Amino acid sequence: MQRLLLILTLLATIVAEASPSRILFVGNSYTSVNNLPAIFKEVVASAGQPPPTIEAATPGGKTLEQHSRLPETLAKIDKGNWDVVIVQGQSQEAAMSEVADNMRTSFLGGAEALFARIRAKSPNAKIVLYETWARHADYWKNPQANTYVGHNATEMQARIRKWYAKIAEGQKNVVVAPVGDAWELNYKNPAAVRLHSKDNSHPAFNGSYLAALVFHAMIYQPATLKVRHTGNIRGKEAAYLQKLAAQAVKGMKCGDPVPEAITRKP
């Protein structure tokens, strides 16, 4: 019995040492709406990992360049000893980087400045880029829609994917969490659930939950994504979202078969 207890204690210690204990979110309303950091913490705990200490800097609408100069953000980064820093740009800047030179310069330069500041204070931190999602297809039904982000959801998501990959390219300890890809997989499903709120931009609760699942899969790399916490989402939909997250992280292409459909329409 004593030997078994010793083994269990050692295993628990190994898990604790391998798990990040301090995580910082840097973003804006796509992070603060529905309190994504709190959802993520619940997901981590319900998957059997030690819940980390989490802080966030999420002033509305800020770009990466603005974050790199914002006292609130820099003060959080400068606390140092972060194991993981999750970085989210303004929802249109990655897509607009495809066509606007000034936005591209701002996006790339802001990322470089943030990376440098994070590394100066937390040399061993993993930086996880929060790849966001395209506007809902209904967004383009409005004649005043901003087509600088793309002419449809597929084009916008392709641009977001491309430019988040660009700022990660060649960077040590920088990875992209394919949240937007998971959203796109959902909307390719004929029986997709609606992840957007009524403004066709921000996430509904299930959209934030899907984002939290992708972060959990990227950061903790579980063999299988089985999470007990579902918030206010019914069991069948929660299982579907967990499958989407797992497949997005494995690099599933959007033309591949989607997980088993559920019945609720977007």
Residue 40 in domain: yes
Angle at CA of residue 127, ends 201 and 105, nearest 5°: 65
CA distance linking residue 192 with residue 197, whole number of Å: 14
CA distance linking residue 246 with residue 251, whole number of Å: 9
Q: Which two tokens stand for residue 64?
A: 């990466």
pLDDT value at residue 258: 40
Per-residue pLDDT of 201-240, as tens digits, reads: 999 999 999 999 999 999 999 888 888 999 999 989 999 9
Residue 73 in domain: yes
Average pLDDT over residues 236-252: 91
Residue 10 in domain: no
Contact 174, 129 (CB under 8 A): yes
Per-residue pLDDT of 115-134, as tens digits, reads: 999 999 999 999 999 999 99
CATH number at residue 141: 3.40.50.1110
Q: Which two tokens stand for residue 206?
A: 């299930």
Residue 13 in domain: no
- Domain hosting 99: range is 20-249
Contact 40, 216 (CB under 8 A): yes
| Spacing of C-alpha 230 from chain mean position | 17
Residue 264 in domain: no
Count of domains observed in the chain: 1
Per-residue pLDDT of 63-117, as tens digits, reads: 999 999 999 999 999 999 999 999 999 999 999 999 999 999 999 999 999 999 9
In angstroms, how far is the first alpha carbon of the chain from the final one?
Answer: 54
Residue 143 in domain: yes
CA distance linking residue 205 with residue 195, whole number of Å: 8
